[in-house]
Amino acid sequence: MNQDKIHLINKIFKNETIRTVWDKEEEKYYISVVDIVRVLVDSKEPRKYWN
C-alpha cells in the first residue's frame, strides 16, 4: 500500500524525484515541499522561490 502512494506522487510530478520519508510509528509519509516547488515552477533554486 505505501509503495503505491510513492508511485502516485512520482506520476503526479512528472517522474521527478520527490524526497519522502516514511514514519513507521506514526504511519505517515512526509514529503519535501521544496522538491514539489522545484518541479512546479521549474526552478534551479527552489529554496529561494519558497522564501
Which residue range is the domain that position 23 belongs to? Answer: 2-50
pLDDT single digits (tens) 22-31? 888 888 888 8
How many structural domains is the chain composed of?
A: 1
- Locate the DSSP E strands across the chain: 20-23, 28-31
Phi and psi, residue 29, nearest 5°: -95, 145
pLDDT single digits (tens) 9-42? 766 777 788 888 888 888 888 888 888 888 888 8
Instruction: Supply angle C-alpha 16, 28, 18, rounded to 5.
Output: 10
Cα–Cα distance measured from residue 13 to residue 19, given in angstroms and rounded to the nearest whole number: 12
SS3 content of the chain, % helix, strand, coil (to 5): 50, 15, 35
